[in-house]
Amino acid sequence: MLLVGTRKGIFTIRPDLPGVVADPALLGHIAQHVVSDPRSGRIVAAVGTGHLGPTVMWSDDLGTTWTEARRPPAFRSGERLERALRATFWLTPSVATEPDVWYLGGSPQGLFRSDDAGDTWSPVDGWNDHPQWETWCEWPDENTPDGSMLHSINVDPRDAKHLYLGLSSGGVFESTDHGADWAPLNQGCLASFAPVPDPEFGHDPHCVRLHPQRPDRLYQQNHCGIYRIDRPSDRWERIGDNMPTDIGDIGFPIELHPRDPDTVWVFPMDGTDVWPRTSPGGRPSVYRSRDAGQSWEACTAGLPGRAWFTVKRQAMTTDLGDPVGVYFGTTSGEVWSSVDEGDTWSCLAAHLPEIYSIECAHAS
């Protein structure tokens, strides 16, 4: 089952029932990220409305009923910077060794942690109060029209103390001590918009994914290209240079094969001029690499020849099937599915609200 977070609520869709869309849950709520916990089946959602403060909801019955977090994420009251969370944006369940732990990233760029499966949340002080936080986050400037956000929280499955996160903008950051301290990890990434093109931080990662079977490998779709890093190297390699030059390597999402660390999917967008963020030339195409980004192939069979939607950073996902199912949702409210790892595509659902996130649900 697919969990679809939209500007107007949460939809659930079964890939085996194309065109069948159940009525939404939390109709009218802005659902930025709706994520299933592979450890328990619990679904946790980062939600808000245009007016009310941000919050978190959870469901233990595959989205039929929802309960609000008893203590939603928030900065500490009375803190020096007087920060207030405006949006809950990104959710990541931690790994098997800490089964009730979740992380949440927000706007402004706070990091929050729950130790009880999303019901109560606390600030991660090591990040939020880091001596460099104001510098890394360019506080109090808000550099994007929707506000700067913290996203792409990745937990190393071998060591729950080892964390990565992404800032838009700000760059990629790493912690090896459970979030107590952090350091930038941006060498090799371009920041073509910055006064110097290769700063220590200040980059704009759009989506960062750690491979669950090879946790030393991460892929990144950045504002300035597609990258891969193989730790312990501290330097990202721009694998997007291998994309066709007329397509380029700008986009929001990047998705990984659950077993093969060399297979990755992206959805290129037009990053020229005023950044339309639509597909280059209005021709939607998924691109797939089978060799860790050394080469790329277009996967367009079944996709519309011309369309003008955007696919946001949380709006693409893969399942655990063999072959792997690949899914993406569009700002025009369509859900597209491929049951053959991107070779062919079909539309699972249309006429939904603007889609912000797509994730697969796990059995509870």
| C-alpha to C-alpha distances, 192 to 107, 175, 223, 226, 273, nearest whole angstrom | 24, 26, 9, 14, 14
**Should residue 85 be labelled a site residue for other proteins when binding is judged by CB under 8 A?**
yes
Q: Which residues pair with 280 in a beta bridge?
A: none
Per the document, the length of the chain is: 364
- Residue 74 as a binder of other proteins (CB under 8 A): the answer is yes
Stretch of residues binding other proteins (CB under 8 A), selected from 73-81, 189-197, 268-276, 293-301: 73-81
Minimum CB distance to other proteins, residue 77 (Å): 5
| 267 belongs to the binding site for other proteins (CB under 8 A) | no
CB of 151 to other proteins, least distance (A): 21
Identify the CA nearest to 32 among candidates 317, 313, 351.
313
Q: In the set 15, 24, 72, 280, which binds other proteins (CB under 8 A)?
A: 72
Written as six digits, the tokens of 317 are 């996902």
68 residue type, one letter: E
**Cα 12 → chain centroid:** 19
Interface with other proteins, residue 77, by CB under 8 A: yes
Structure tokens at 163: 């964390």
Lookup: tokens for 6? 């939209």
Distance CA 363, CA 117 (A): 16
Residue 16 CB neighbour total at 10 angstroms: 10
Interface pattern 34-53 for other proteins (x via CB under 8 A): ---------------xxxxx
First to last CA, the chain: 12
295 binds other proteins (CB under 8 A): no
113 binds other proteins (CB under 8 A): no
Nearest CB to other proteins, comparing residues 22 and 27: 27
Which residue in this structure is represented by tokens 């996967």?
A: 299
With binding defined as CB under 8 A, does residue 83 bind other proteins?
yes
Q: Beta 316-318 vs 326-329: how paired, if at all?
A: antiparallel
Choose which of 16, 20, 27, 70 interacts with other proteins (CB under 8 A): 70
Q: Which of residues 321-360 bind other proteins (CB under 8 A)?
A: none
What is the spatial distance between Cα 280 and Cα 181, in angstroms, rounded to a whole number? Answer: 40
For other proteins, give the closer residue by CB, 17 or 84.
84
- Strand order of the β-sheet with 335-338 is 316-318, 326-329, 335-338, 346-349
Question: Please, which residue, 82 or 141, has the CB nearer to other proteins?
Answer: 82
- Nearer residue to other proteins within complex by CB, 50 or 232: 50
Is 55 among the residues that bind other proteins (CB under 8 A)? yes
Residue 68 makes contact with other proteins by CB under 8 A: yes
CB 270 within 8 A of CB 280: yes
Smallest distance, Å, CB 223 to other proteins? 27
Based on the shown chain and the rule CB under 8 A, indicate whether residue 14 belongs to the binding site for other proteins. Answer: no
Q: Is 76 in the site for other proteins (CB under 8 A)?
A: yes
- 27 makes contact with other proteins (CB under 8 A): no
| Count of CB atoms situated within 10 Å of the CB of 53 | 13
Q: Confirm or reject binding of residue 23 to other proteins (CB under 8 A).
A: no
Nearest to 234 by CA among 300, 177, 188: 188
In this complex, which beta carbon is closest to other proteins, that of residue 134 or of residue 200?
Answer: 134
In the complex, minimum distance from the CB of residue 79 to other proteins, in angstroms, rounded to a whole number: 8
Q: Which DSSP letter does residue 71 get?
A: B
Segment contacting other proteins by CB under 8 A, of 70-78, 215-223, 238-246, 337-345: 70-78
- Whichever of 26 and 326 has its CB closer to other proteins, that residue is 26
Q: Which is nearer to other proteins, 28 or 99 (CB)?
A: 28
Of these, 20, 84, 96, 301, which contacts other proteins (CB under 8 A)?
Answer: 84
CA distances from 41 to 25, 44, 202, 258 (A): 17, 10, 36, 18
Interface contacts to other proteins, rule CB under 8 A:
49-53, 55, 68, 70, 72, 74-79, 82-85
